[in-house]
Amino acid sequence: MCSALSPRRGYPIIGYTTRRHLILDLDNANRYGARAITKKIMWEWPKVGDCIILSSSVKPDRVRLVHNRWGRPLVYHDRENFHLVFDNGIGYNLSCRICRVLAGINILNPDYVKIREFRGDMTLRISPAHLQNEVKPIPHLVEWVYNNYTTRRDGYIRHYLKVKKGVETLFAGLSDTEGVANDGTNRPNRTRQQRTVNPLTERIDLHNGDTEEASDDDDRLFL
Report whether pLDDT(177) > 70. no
Q: What value does the mean pLDDT take over residues 48-55? A: 96
In a domain, 172, yes or no: no
Which domain does 46 fall in, by range?
Answer: 3-152
In a domain, 97, yes or no: yes
In a domain, 202, yes or no: no
In a domain, 183, yes or no: no
Q: Give the model's pLDDT for residue 64.
A: 57
Count up the domains in the chain and report the number: 1
Q: Give the model's pLDDT for residue 153.
A: 94
In a domain, 134, yes or no: yes
For the whole model, what pTM was predicted? Answer: 0.70
Percent share of the chain, pLDDT over 70: 67
Q: Distance (Å, rounded) from C-alpha 17 to C-alpha 7?
A: 22
In a domain, 206, yes or no: no
120-133 pLDDT tens trace:
899 999 999 887 77
In a domain, 84, yes or no: yes
Least confident of 59-73, 101-115, 183-197: 183-197
Q: What value does the mean pLDDT take over residues 182-188? A: 49
Percent share of the chain, pLDDT over 90: 42
In a domain, 36, yes or no: yes
Report whether pLDDT(90) > 50. yes
